[in-house]
Chains A and B, each alone.
Chain A
Amino acid sequence: EEQLEESGGGLVKPGGSLRLSCAASGFIFISYSVNWVRLVPGKGLEWVAFISPNSDHIYYADSVKGRFTVSRDNAKKSLYLQMNSLRAEDTAVYYCARHSRDEGMDVWGQGTTVTVSS
């Protein structure tokens, strides 16, 4: 079964840092781009970041650019999101999602919750 599983969420103070991980299984990880998408309470889904299979194309939403860094380790079949200078508005459930431009985000993890609060 094709699966993604996020981890690393938690409670952090404003200005703090957190690193999310996403482990892939059941498919050839290196063949796919991956996105981070977050569900913001009361607001809906927001795309956060994209990374191509070989990490040669990386894009960020304006709201996180300069603070978040996406990376991947294809040998470990893992995706990461380093989040620095966290703000209250970053509070959300964070999902990793497999991406194919012609087939959409077709595999999603179960999500990991990040709460930024003092």
Chain B
Amino acid sequence: DIVMTQSPLSLSVTPGEPASISCRSSQSLLHTNGYNYLDWYVQRPGQSPQLLISLASNRASGVPDRFSGGGSGTDFTLKISRVEAGDVGIYYCMQALHTLPTFGPGTRVDI
């Protein structure tokens, strides 16, 4: 199984300031088609998980452009350019390359 790790596991941010979360996989997530099969999700308090980013850098429909994803192979990053109060929640990366998806442990973001 592919093991996903995230850092930091907890992040306290100031509104208006940037934030960054790192995600690392135990195997490369780069497909032969050139895409990295890495997704980012957020679970805000009291809500269901929500897709933020797919294929490492593609923002999902309706996701503000404050959110951006990058990286390739085994190292990936989610960046929030200017944190807002509504960004509080737990952020997960997930590998989607192999048959059995695996999530990272989550990064708790609070204000």
At the interface with chain B, which of A17-25, A80-88, A106-114? A106-114
Q: Is A95 an interface residue (CB 8 A)?
A: yes
Give the size of the chain A interface in residues (CB under 8 angstroms). 23
Which residues A35-63 have CB closer than 8 A to chain B? 35, 37, 39, 44-47, 50, 59, 61-62
Q: Which residues of A contact B103 (CB under 8 A)?
A: 44-47
Q: Is A76 an interface residue (CB 8 A)?
A: no
Q: Which residues of A contact B50 (CB under 8 A)?
A: 108
Q: If the complex has contacts A44-B105, A110-B48, are A104 and B100 also in contact, measured as CB distance less than 8 A? A: no
Give the size of the chain B interface in residues (CB under 8 angstroms). 28
Tell me the complex Cα distance, A41–B43, Å. Answer: 13
B residues sitting closer than 8 Å to A (CB atoms) are 1, 35, 37, 39, 41, 43, 48-51, 53-55, 58, 60-61, 90, 92, 94, 96, 99-106
A residues sitting closer than 8 Å to B (CB atoms) are 35, 37, 39, 44-47, 50, 59, 61-62, 95, 97, 101-106, 108-111
